Amino acid sequence: MANLVTVGALETTDTRTRLIEAAIDLFTRHSFAGTSLQMIADELGFTKAAIYHHFRTREQLLAAVLEPILDELRTVVESAEAKRTAHARAEHMLTGYAALAVRNRGLVAVLAADPSVATALNERSQWGDLIKRQLALLADVDPGPAGEVKAAMVFAGMAGAVGPAGAALDDDVLLDHLLDAGRRTLGLRAPRRLL
C-alpha cells in the first residue's frame, strides 16, 4: 500500500510540474492575461477538471510559477539588505537581480510587462513588500524621486532586455551588458576585479 501512495504522490507531483511548465511556456508566448486554463489543458491534452484538481484559478497557477523566482529574489534582497553601505546594497541587488533575470529570460520579460501580473503581485502583501524592498535597495543610492525613477528604469530595462531584445546574446554577454547599463543608470562604479 505504501508503494501505491508513493506512486500516486509522484504522479501528482509530475502532473503539477507539467502544468507549471506548460503555463510558463504559454505565459511566455501569450502573456498571463492572454492564457486561459483551457489553453493549458489543451496544450497538455488534459481536461479542465484535471487542472482544477491542482489549481482552482489562473492566479493559483501564477503563484506556483512565481514562487521559485520570488524565493530567489527574497534571498537576494535579504542578502543585499545586510550590506553596510547604500552602494554595496545596490550593487548586490543589481547583480543578483540581473543574474535571476538572465536565468529566467522569457518569463521575466513577459511577466514584467503584463499589468495583470503586477496586480497579482500587489494583491499578496508579502510579494508587494518584496518588490518595494527591491526597489528601495537601488533607489537609496540617490535618495528621493530621482533614485526611485532610476531604480524603476533599471528593473524595467532589465526585464525588456532579457526578452526578444537580448535573445541573440549568450547569458554571460547579456549579464555583462545588464550590469554595465544598470551601474551607469544608478551612478555606481563597477567593483574592482581581483587579478
What confidence tens digit (pLDDT) does each residue in 14-29 have?
A: 888 999 999 988 988 8
Structure confidence by residue, pLDDT tens digits, 117-158: 888 777 888 888 999 999 999 999 999 999 999 999 999 999
Q: Tally the C-alpha atoms within 13 A of residue 132's C-alpha that lie toward its C-beta.
A: 7
- CA-nearest of 43, 44, 22 to 107 is 22
Asked whether residue 21 falls in the same domain as residue 115, the answer is no
pLDDT at 110: 78
The answer to whether residue 20 sits within a structural domain is yes
The boundaries of the domain holding residue 18 are 2-56
Report the predicted TM-score, pTM, of the whole model to 2 decimal places: 0.83
Asked whether residue 73 falls in the same domain as residue 90, the answer is yes
Q: What is the mean pLDDT of the chain?
A: 88
Residue 134 neighbours by CB under 8 Å, 6+ apart: 73, 77, 93, 97, 155
Domain count, the chain: 2
Percent of the chain with pLDDT over 90: 53
pLDDT at 111: 76
Asked whether residue 75 falls in the same domain as residue 150, the answer is yes
Q: Tell me which residue has cell 489562473.
A: 58
12 has pLDDT over 70: no
Asked whether residue 138 falls in the same domain as residue 174, the answer is yes
For residue 37, what is the domain's CATH number? Answer: 1.10.10.60
195 has pLDDT over 70: no
Asked whether residue 21 falls in the same domain as residue 89, the answer is no
The answer to whether residue 42 sits within a structural domain is yes
- CA-nearest of 159, 137, 138, 132 to 150 is 138
Asked whether residue 105 falls in the same domain as residue 32, the answer is no
Asked whether residue 71 falls in the same domain as residue 146, the answer is yes
The answer to whether residue 194 sits within a structural domain is no
pLDDT at 86: 96
Q: Return the SS3 of 162.
A: coil
101 has pLDDT over 80: yes
